[in-house]
């Protein structure tokens, strides 16, 4: 991904190669040209697979083609590598799915505390934010985790969001109103 320090061109030493150069080195650039597909470095509509031309099976842009290479698919992120080197286990949640992430519920509780106790000054916020984070107890965080795990389990067994079976499986509490006409 980076030109070596002993590269013949002095100006390129240590610099990033760029997407086109990496694809050329892997033989993908020439292959795409020979197949007759138009080849773009980036999709004009978006930066993900959904913006690619659906008639081209491997994707129309260089980002998608490079992203489908096996070494890119197997590469862990820097944060994950550093945490695993320290002996930690890393679990990533589904992107943009806040109901499956108990940390979102923690943030919601902490922000509510901060909002209720805010003095609306920079110094007041600096004092309130650590208190807000400490205001959520460990047992509450554990309850948030269990609630999210119930949702994960409901999805795992094939229930669909909004159905009666989903609500019965997920929303369990001694404070629930049993009169379903009030829903």
**Residue 27: pLDDT above 60?**
yes
- Residue 61's beta-bridge partner residues? 40
Looking at residue 83, its pLDDT comes to 92
- Counting Cβ atoms within 10 Å, is residue 180 exposed (0-12), middle (13-18) or buried (19+)? exposed
**For residues 42-57, average pLDDT:** 58
Compute the Cα dihedral for 41, 42, 43, 49 and give only its sign. Answer: positive
Looking at residue 182, its pLDDT comes to 46
Looking at residue 130, its pLDDT comes to 93
Instruction: Compute CA distances 68 → 41, 74, 79, whole Å.
Output: 14, 10, 21
pLDDT, tens digit (0-9, with 9 covering 90-100), for 127-180: 999 999 999 999 999 999 998 888 888 888 888 887 888 888 887 665 555 555
**For residues 101-116, average pLDDT:** 90
- Counting Cβ atoms within 10 Å, is residue 137 exposed (0-12), middle (13-18) or buried (19+)? exposed
pTM above 0.85, yes or no: no
Report residue 35's pLDDT band, with 50, 70 and 90 as the boundaries: low
Instruction: Compute CA distances 55 → 47, 59, 61, 65, 166, whole Å.
Output: 17, 8, 12, 14, 38
pLDDT, tens digit (0-9, with 9 covering 90-100), for 61-91: 777 777 777 887 788 888 899 999 999 988 7
Mean pLDDT of the chain: 79
**For residues 46-66, average pLDDT:** 63
Residues 35 and 41 sit within 8 Å (Cβ to Cβ): no
């Amino acid at each position: 991904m980076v030109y070596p320090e002993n590269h013949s061109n002095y100006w390129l030493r240590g610099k990033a190669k760029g997407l086109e150069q990496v694809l050329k080195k892997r033989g993908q650039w020439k292959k795409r040209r020979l197949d007759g597909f138009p080849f773009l470095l980036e999709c004009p509509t978006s930066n993900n697979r959904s913006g690619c031309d659906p008639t081209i099976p491997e994707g129309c842009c260089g980002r998608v083609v490079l992203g489908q290479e096996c070494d890119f698919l197997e590469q862990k992120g820097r944060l994950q590598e550093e945490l695993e080197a320290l002996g930690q286990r890393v679990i990533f949640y589904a992107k943009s799915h806040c109901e499956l992430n108990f940390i979102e519920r923690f943030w919601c509780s902490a922000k509510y505390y901060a909002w209720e106790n805010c003095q609306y000054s920079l110094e007041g916020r600096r004092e309130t934010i650590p208190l807000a984070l400490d205001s959520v107890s460990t047992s509450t965080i554990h309850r948030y985790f269990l609630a999210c795990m119930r949702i994960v389990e409901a999805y795992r067994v094939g229930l669909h969001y909004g159905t009666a079976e989903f609500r019965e499986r997920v929303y369990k509490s001694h404070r629930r109103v049993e009169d379903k006409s009030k829903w």
